[in-house]
Amino acid sequence: MAATTTAPARTADILRAGAGGRRMWFDRVMRSVALLASLACVIPLGAVLFFVTARGISAVNLDLLTKPSRALGVGGGAVSAILGTLQMVPLAALLAIPIGVLAGIYVHEYGAARSARTIRFAADVLVGVPSILIGIFVFTFLVLPFRQYNAFAGSVALAVIMAPVIMRTTEEVLKLVPGNLREASLALGVPRWRTTLAIVVRTALPGILTGIMLAVARATGETAPLLFTALGSRLVNVGDFGKPMDALPLFIYVNARQPYDLQNAQAWGAAFLLLVFVLAVNVLVRLGSTSRRRTP
């Protein structure tokens, strides 16, 4: 009798052990696949960073940082491009950040409304529009009527690229804020607009800053819109947004196409400077987000 009762139990144990072994094997396979996918994302980034740094850091010198460019690159530098990027990108951010953040708040707060759905769809489409089309659009309205390439048009083109990215990231980050915080604020009699700004947006601020960082990083490296708007210039232009202005992506594009080794080296040096600029923006935003999380 005992033998007949223990046989089914042993069979069940064997089946459970076999199922557990299959689960462990499947878990290990999926972990390996996930690890390989992670490496597939990281390796190209590391290769780009290594290649640009190795080729560009040797071309960074005092002339590149302090002198304007010349026709054949002899004795010239990239100061006009550096100053142009430091002017157009902040102006574009100044135009895009309020629009993108406020639009993201509106779409999140009134997501069920038809207007919110329309804005969300338009932003999704605009994110996927090639940047060269945005450059042509801004060229039609801010360059042709004035018959003058200008830096303001370049900033507007970059702002158009940045705004939908900021809006969509703001909306997604606001969705992650716990609803209990909103309900507690409303239960205390705080108006909805103040709850949104003082509670919801403040809680989601590190994520919003990350979205802004991504938008700025994308706009900083855009070349096509600037070809139709700011155009580029060998002259140092500080503060005059009504005239052409150079930028690091334009400097890289022009010098990389030249048949002279010195200009090619300057293009690599400018690429390294652009990489450092984007990295600095990332680090500053990360530090700001971390400090805000630690602040009670």
Given this model, what pLDDT does residue 206 score? 87
Q: pLDDT tens, 227-258?
A: 999 999 888 999 999 999 999 999 999 999 88
For the domain spanning 77-294, the CATH number is 1.10.3720.10
What are the domain boundaries of the chain? 77-294
Q: How far apart are CA 289 and CA 285, in angstroms?
A: 6
- Per-residue pLDDT 10s for the chain (296 aa) are 445 556 666 665 665 666 666 778 888 889 999 999 999 989 988 999 999 999 999 999 998 999 888 766 566 889 999 999 999 999 999 999 999 999 999 999 888 788 889 999 999 999 999 999 999 999 999 999 999 999 999 999 999 999 999 999 999 999 999 989 888 988 888 898 899 988 999 999 988 988 998 899 889 999 999 999 999 988 899 999 999 999 999 999 999 988 888 889 999 999 999 999 988 888 877 776 666 555 55
Q: Is this structure's pTM higher than 0.75?
A: yes
